[in-house]
Amino acid sequence: MLPHHLALISLSKKLTPRALSQTAAALQKQITRDLGPLWNITASIDYFPDLKSVPLGYWPIIIAENIKDPDAAGFHTDKHHQPYSLVEFDDTWQLTCSHEMCEMLVDPYGNKLAAAGSPRPSQGKVNFLVEVCDPCEDASFAYSINGILLSDFYTPNYFDPQPVRGVRYSFTGAITKPGEVLKNGYVSWQDPVTKKWYQATRFGSGPEPVIKLVNGMKSNHESLRAQMDRLTRNPNRKKAFLAAAKKHQPLKNRIIKSGQSKSEDWAEEIKKYLPAGKGAGLLGLTGDADNFSAVLTVSFNSGGGTLKATINRKDQTSDDFTFDSNGGTHTFDNVNPGDEIVANTTAASDVDFTIDRNTDVATPINIKGKTTRFFEITT
């Protein structure tokens, strides 16, 4: 079986390389450990800084802000009929990326059908659209990998004719029998006799799904999944996602703290093998404040140019400031351990760059030439 390769790209400047790399690592673990064995899938997902960096043969998951048409978010195929997904950036972008990734890998082209008994008994056997996350898409059924909330998904046994003790119907076990639709979930199918499409949804407060006719499905170049996503409106989805993200935050913070502690161990271990003052791209800001300021000082020793400094915070916010050839100082506020400062020089031959948490004299970092340097705030 040929492996699939996915690319995670953000068009939003609010997302840091660290957040995207950590998300790609969690999604890779979901593929390798969870989704792949159950669906017989081999795949990889990697973070790339922009679309130009994506190698040929990768299917992209693209995160963007302010998508003009809300119907555009979700699954698509390009003019060469290759899949890609657009994800709207918000507080639950990671959970949405997981949802889109799982469905893309199980059904790359959005037209996969599975035959099983209809929720409406009078229809007999029907063709279900394979959307592995939709019946259990409510965030209350999500689970955590590396502190990141990811989507539950159903297994191939979801289409079994009857329940059997000990059989897994979704990864988390939230789905307990074939064809079950959980709170705020839905499932879609076509009646092969009438050619009409139907959905069973649980968007209301009732304990049983509501079955309705879906109008607007067409036989054209657009995939079945892209059409169904566009025609389906779950009024509770975003609210539920945000509530789950808030509930999950304390666990996420504890996992981040554990990871930072280990990173300090690595930094200490590596330091003994490197020349004094060179470090490993780690910048420790001392002090016991929970959040503080970082003072940047720039001095151009020769030649002209600029230095653009960007603070990428772990809360997914960012600020930037550009120094001209006169240099100077600038203060970034609300700087915490785990944040990242990026220094990008243009046409600069020799620059001294200093970062400190106060105005005391600190050892400058000399940067030569046009380059980009990354500094992680570790303490």
Pairing status of strand 292-302 against strand 186-190:
unpaired
Give residue 132's Cα distance to chain centre: 18
Based on the fold, state whether residues 302 and 153 are members of the same structural domain.
no
Q: Convert the pLDDT of each residue in 18-41 to its tens digit.
A: 889 999 999 999 999 999 999 999
Same domain, 236 and 344: no
pLDDT at site 280:
41
The residue written with tokens 């059409």 in the block is 227
pTM: 0.70
Q: What angle do CA 226, 232, 236 make, to 5 degrees?
A: 130
From 247, 269, 292, give the residue that closes a domain. Answer: 247
Greater pLDDT, 343 or 70: 343
Instruction: Indicate whether 90 and 234 sit together in one domain.
Output: yes
Q: Which two tokens stand for residue 124?
A: 């007999």
The CA distance from 320 to 38, in Å, is 45
CA distance 222 to 109: 10
* Helical (H) or strand (E) element with 201: strand 197-201
pLDDT number for residue 293: 75
Rounded CA-CA distance 321/323 in Å is 7
Report the number of distinct structural domains present in the chain: 2
Going by C-beta distance under 8 Å and a sequence separation of 6 or more, which residues neighbour residue 182? 135, 136, 138, 141, 174, 175, 202
Asked, for residue 263, whether it belongs to a domain, the answer is no
pLDDT at position 279? 42
Give SS3 for 190.
strand
- Same-domain status, 187 and 240: yes
pLDDT band for 119, please (50, 70, 90 cuts).
very high
Which helix or strand (DSSP H or E) is residue 77 part of?
Answer: strand 74-77
Does residue 186 form part of some domain? yes
Over residues 276-289, the mean pLDDT reads 44
Instruction: Report how many helices (DSSP H) and strands (DSSP E) the chain contains, helices first.
Output: 5, 21
Question: Residue range 133-139: average pLDDT?
Answer: 95
Span 207-231, average pLDDT: 89
Cross-strand pairs, 307: 323, 345
Kindly state whether residues 41 and 87 are assigned to the same domain: yes
**CATH number of the CATH domain containing 353:** 2.60.60
Residue 285 pLDDT: 41
Q: Which of 21-25, 242-246, 281-285 has the lowest mean pLDDT?
A: 281-285
Cβ atoms within 10 Å, residue 221: 9
Higher pLDDT, 178 or 359: 178
Single-letter residue type at 60: P
Tell me: do 116 and 228 sit in the same domain. Answer: yes
AA identity, residue 279 = G
pLDDT digits (tens, 9 = 90+) for 269-278: 777 777 764 4
Query: Would you state the pLDDT for residue 290?
Result: 45
| Residue 137 maps to a domain | yes
Same-domain pairing of 236 and 329: no
3-state helix, strand, coil in the chain (%, to 5): 25, 30, 45
- The answer to whether residue 271 is domain-embedded is no
Looking at residue 367, its pLDDT comes to: 81
Co-location of 235 and 300 in the same domain: no
Question: Would you state the structure tokens that stand for residue 138, as one six-digit string?
Answer: 């409510």
Spatial neighbors of 190 by CB under 8 A, at least 6 apart, are 113, 126, 127, 129, 196, 197, 198, 217
Range of the domain at 89: 4-247
- Cα separation, 244 vs 90, whole angstroms: 13
